[in-house]
Amino acid sequence: MESLLDGKKLASALELRLKKDIDDFSDVAGRRPGLAVIRVGEDPASGVYVANKEKACKRVGIDSSVHNLKADSSPEEILGTINSLNNALKIDGILLQLPLPKGFDEKQLLKAINPEKDVDGLHTLNLGRLIKGEEGPRSCTPAGIMALLRYNNIPLEGKNVVVIGRSILVGKPMALMLQAANATVTLAHSKTLNLPEVTNQADLLVVAAGKPNLIGSEHVSEKTVVVDVGIHRIPISTDSMGKKFKLCGDVRANEIASKVRAITPVPGGVGPMTVAMLLVNTVDRWQFHCGLSSTVSDLLP
Ligand code: NAP
């Protein structure tokens, strides 16, 4: 087993495969896959994420469009955009970039997306399908982690897995996917008592707490495989060009990398896999809408 679980490398390999699938099937489908991203407001981090997704779409041959809406847009305006994309024949996937500016009802807007175009897998129907083990779009971050674990031959059946974080975006779907892979899953959160005691039992520890440097040597053993989902921009200095940042995760990687069995880097671990799974979901939805069999179902948990 590699000690560094390299998401960037796997994401690049997946992009090559997706590009070939798109090139091979565009003629019979009559068009290329289409992805629409809705961005509300001017959050700079969201801007970087959206730009990265657009670049990735371009690399593999997905037609992507970004719908920028102002932070003071009314919910009706956003719903109007979602509805027109729901009805657009050349759009296979719709992604509402989160988080939304304060004051918006995220749940109501996510629910308005056609579940068959829900490439983020966050629609209530698709989360229900995940619980029931039925096919449907899966949330990109946990699905990307499952693909990374599978590619690196990390065993899951019968293993003790601890997931830190119980959000709808990451923690809960992650726990369900790991459970479906026959792991014994513990879901920890901010009210969990004696966290180091809990995490020390883990063969696999997935950390999605959104707290920089939360997890250190005291939380892991030599047998632990660590997946660090957190991503934080920490200001390190300010010069005439503005503030400089460094990226870090929820895990003190320097402290534990030489101790644990394997770890995902930040950046270059979960982040690129999240984008890769958005592409996989878009290609899957394109094939579904065009009446073709999915060529990517082996990549979906
Ligand atoms: P979130 O909605 O803020 O949820 C955080 C979860 O962590 C909550 O369930 C919370 O518990 C738990 N938590 C917080 N502090 C804790 C502590 N001290 N001990 C144990 N549990 C604690 O965050 P999220 O949306 O799931 O995202 C988590 C992190 O992943 C963020 O850093 C985010 O930026 C990152 N992320 C990265 C990617 C990527 O592609 N790399 C994608 C998505 C998210 P309670 O429920 O009790 O509050």
pLDDT tens, residue by residue, 21-59: 999 999 999 999 999 999 999 988 889 999 999 999 999
The verdict on 92 and 182 lying in the same domain is: no
What pLDDT does 184 receive? 98
DSSP H helix total and E strand total for the chain: 10, 10
Residues 6+ apart with CB under 8 A from 124: 110, 111
Q: List, for residues 51-62, the tens digit of each pLDDT value.
A: 999 999 999 999
Q: List, for residues 191-220, the tens digit of each pLDDT value.
A: 999 999 999 999 999 999 999 999 999 999
The verdict on 161 and 233 lying in the same domain is: yes
Would 298 be classed as within a structural domain? no
What pLDDT does 68 receive? 96
Would 257 be classed as within a structural domain? yes
The verdict on 95 and 157 lying in the same domain is: no
CA of 244 to the centre of ligand 1 (A): 24
What pLDDT does 252 receive? 97
Q: Give me the number of domains the chain comprises.
A: 2
| Better-scored residue on pLDDT, 245 or 88 | 88
The yes-or-no answer on residue 120 being catalytic is yes
The verdict on 109 and 153 lying in the same domain is: no
Would 165 be classed as within a structural domain? yes
Ranges of H-type helices in 155-209: 171-180, 195-199
Q: Is 211 in the pocket of ligand 1 (CB under 6 A)?
A: yes
Q: Whole-prediction pTM value? A: 0.97
Would 3 be classed as within a structural domain? no
Q: 45-49, 134-138, 156-160, 167-171: which has the minimum mean pLDDT?
A: 45-49
- In ligand 1, which atom is closest to the CA atom of 275? 40
The average pLDDT across 126-152 equals 97
In percent, the amount of the chain with pLDDT more than 90 equals: 94
Contact (CB, 8 A) for 264 and 148: yes
The average pLDDT across 268-288 equals 98
The average pLDDT across 133-144 equals 97
Would 149 be classed as within a structural domain? yes
Q: Is 165 in the pocket of ligand 1 (CB under 6 A)?
A: yes
- Torsion over CA of 154, 159, 163 and 169, rounded to 10 degrees? 60
CA of 64 to the centre of ligand 1 (A): 28
Which secondary structure element, helix H or strand E, spans residue 235, and what is its range? strand 232-239
| pLDDT mean across residues, the chain | 96
Would 123 be classed as within a structural domain? no
Contact (CB, 8 A) for 270 and 227: yes
What pLDDT does 122 receive? 96
Would 8 be classed as within a structural domain? no
Would 215 be classed as within a structural domain? yes
Q: Is 55 in the pocket of ligand 1 (CB under 6 A)?
A: no
The verdict on 245 and 147 lying in the same domain is: yes
Q: What CATH number is associated with residue 40?
A: 3.40.50.10860
The verdict on 52 and 168 lying in the same domain is: no
The average pLDDT across 114-128 equals 97
Check 6, 97, 118, 284 and give the catalytic one: 97
Give the domain extent around 42: 29-114
The verdict on 106 and 185 lying in the same domain is: no
Nearest CA to ligand 1 atom 8: 165
The verdict on 264 and 181 lying in the same domain is: yes
Strands 160-164 and 242-248: unpaired
Other CB atoms within a 10 A radius of the CB of residue 261 amount to 16
Whether the per-residue pLDDT at 154 is higher than 80: the answer is yes
What pLDDT does 2 receive? 73
Whether the per-residue pLDDT at 239 is higher than 80: the answer is no
The verdict on 77 and 145 lying in the same domain is: no
Contact (CB, 8 A) for 283 and 62: yes
The average pLDDT across 122-143 equals 97
What pLDDT does 9 receive? 98
For the beta sheet containing 225-228, the strands, ordered from the edge strand earlier in sequence to the opposite edge, are 184-188, 160-164, 204-207, 225-228, 262-263
Check 118, 120, 250, 284 and give the catalytic one: 120
> What is the band of 1 on the pLDDT scale with cuts at 50, 70, 90?
low
The verdict on 78 and 183 lying in the same domain is: no
The verdict on 67 and 169 lying in the same domain is: no
Q: What CATH number is associated with residue 233?
A: 3.40.50.720
What pLDDT does 241 receive? 75
